[in-house]
Amino acid sequence: MLKNKYFLAAGVLLLAVIAVVVIIFMPRHTDQQAREGIQIETWSLKNGARVYYVAATQLPMVDVRVVFNAGAARDDGKPGLARMTNELLDHGAGDWNTEQVLERFDSVGAQFSSSAHRDMAVVQLRSLVDKPLLTVAMDTMAAILKTPRFEPAELERERQRTLVGLQNQRESPEQLAELAFYSAVYEQHPYATPVLGTEESVTAFKRDDIINFYKNYYVGANALVVIVGDVNRSRAEALAEQVAGGLPAGQAAALLPEVPAAHASKLIKEEHPSTQTHVWLGQPGMTRSDADYFPLYVGNHILGGSGFGSRIVDQIREGKGLAYSSYSYFMPMQRKGPLLLALQTRNDQAEQALQMLREILTKFIAEGPTAEELQHAKKNITGGFPLRIDSNKDILEQVAMIGFYNMPLDYLQTFNKKVESVTREQIMDAYRRRVTPQNMVTVMVGKFEATEPKK
């Protein structure tokens, strides 16, 4: 298989931004669909699980993703619990122990993975649609969701691995910055929880904690099944039933509390033996269904969301050579996900770069984008539409987003029109109301001793 671990991209920058943007915004798929948007079919299972399905017949494969409203925001005082539960699902299920589960997937060339984020817990399968192969893969996935064993020995091993993972996290100034940022921005709100947990919490997990979490959240009422691939509607119905139909109905997770508005400016400096300082600047931003979504999104495209050509990259990287990667984004979530502006630069330049980031933001709020910038951003966003719906993988991302956040089914069809209709005034108005530079969290992780700016 093709491996290309060893290359450098000129702009991680751009890739970085694309990665984020793709997850958040981008659609994808087949020819006429590309023009009209994706045709999503939806239905529900008896236990309340919602199913979103898109036929994509060009390749003999299918992606099946089940998303639960069971991310780290549900940790409830036990940081890392959502992630540990999600991680342990495939460590033995039904009649099969861990080795058997893994071998069953590999033996049919299926790719199975699971992950936990702040809002979501995800379980995902990619398989060929050839019946004997898909049957093995789907039987295994169904067992994983319905009858995970959560054996004590498996928990113990995963606990030990996670503890090393937590140690390892402390090597990375970027990851330290992220931890400090979420903690300071969200304080007592569930989004403050560290997804991987803490040494204290991970050490303390009991098997019952895992089982209870699973029983509460891995239920029909809390599940979304997304199917994209070369299966017709009736086969899709059968797959959905097979993978999620056996879950008890249960209850949908309660609404998360609102994120309180940012109320003070905070500066957190963490000493780290690195040559660069990672600078993260931000505050609570917007929700996925935010009334200001489009003005904030299009505005951010100009501010720092589109790589080269955006103000942050133009001034910090192109203008001053201060950073390789610098960007801003809103991460829309169930409740207000963060607005973030970030960069990393040589320790002695950190104050200067931070100052620039702040000035760029302040000026943007005060003056808004120019008419030319706005026109350019619209051309980029709308002109790139076909590009965003051109693979099964991206269709899956889009549909899962639409389903999980209960966006309208014509979200993709109306996306360009909504982008087009954003005015300069709306952007200025939205940024003035929603972004408060005087109440920002600033995180700096780097080496501060003896690195006063050289002038």
Asked whether position 148 contacts another protein by CB under 8 A, the answer is no
Which residues from 255-284 bind another protein, rule CB under 8 A?
A: 269-276
User: Does residue 18 interact with another protein by CB under 8 A?
Assistant: yes
CB of 297 to another protein, least distance (A): 16
Residue 9, interface with another protein (CB under 8 A)? Answer: yes
CB of 447 to another protein, least distance (A): 10
Question: Of 69, 114, 124, 392, which one interacts with another protein (CB under 8 A)?
Answer: 392
Token pair of 109 as six digits = 């060339």
Q: Tell me if 36 contacts another protein by CB under 8 A.
A: no
Are the CB atoms for 397 and 24 separated by under 8 Å? Answer: no
Question: Which one of residues 376, 418, 436, 451 is an interface residue with another protein (CB under 8 A)?
Answer: 376
Minimum distance between the CB of residue 249 and another protein, rounded to whole angstroms? 30
Q: Is position 194 an interface residue for another protein (rule: CB under 8 A)?
A: yes
Binding to another protein in span 206-265, by CB under 8 A: none
Q: Rule CB under 8 A: which of 334-353 touch another protein?
A: 344-346
Q: Closer to another protein at the Cβ: 260 or 383?
A: 383
Give the number of other Cβ atoms within 10 Å of residue 253's Cβ: 19
CB nearer to another protein: pick between 241 and 266: 266
User: Measured in Å, how far apart are the chain's first and last C-alpha atoms?
Assistant: 50
221: left (phi over 0), alpha (psi -120 to 50) or beta: alpha
Cβ-in-10-Å burial (0-12, 13-18, 19+) of 51 comes to: buried
Q: Does 53 bind another protein (CB under 8 A)?
A: no
Q: Which of 69, 85, 300, 306 binds another protein (CB under 8 A)?
A: 306
- Among 44, 60, 76, 362, contact with another protein (rule: CB under 8 A): 60
Tokens at 21, concatenated: 């943007």
Question: In the structure encoding, which two tokens stand for residue 125, read together?
Answer: 């399968």
How are beta strands 266-271 and 121-128 bridged, if at all?
unpaired
Examine residue 454 and tell whether it contacts another protein (CB under 8 A): no
Query: Which CB, 196 or 224, lies closer to another protein?
Result: 196
Task: Report whether 223 contacts 214 (CB < 8 A).
Answer: no
Q: Give whichever of 59 and 371 is closer to another protein, judged by the CB atom.
A: 59
Residue ranges in 405-445 assigned as alpha helix (H): 411-420, 424-434
What number of CA atoms fall less than 13 Å from residue 369's CA on the CB side?
29
Tell me if 318 contacts another protein by CB under 8 A.
yes
Per rule CB under 8 A, is residue 371 in the interface with another protein? no
Which residues have C-beta within 8 Å of that of residue 390, sequence separation ≥ 6? Answer: 28, 29, 34
Look up tokens 């979103």; give the residue.
52
Contact status, residue 104 vs residue 137, Cβ threshold 8 Å? yes
| 3 is a contact residue toward another protein (CB under 8 A) | yes
User: How far apart (Å, rounded) are the C-alpha atoms in residues 241 and 142?
Assistant: 9
Binding flags for another protein, 173-192, as an x/- string (CB under 8 A)? xxxx-xxx-xx--------x
Rounded CA separation 44/50 (Å) = 4
CB nearer to another protein: give 21 or 247: 21
For the segment 394-453, give every residue that binds another protein (CB under 8 A): none
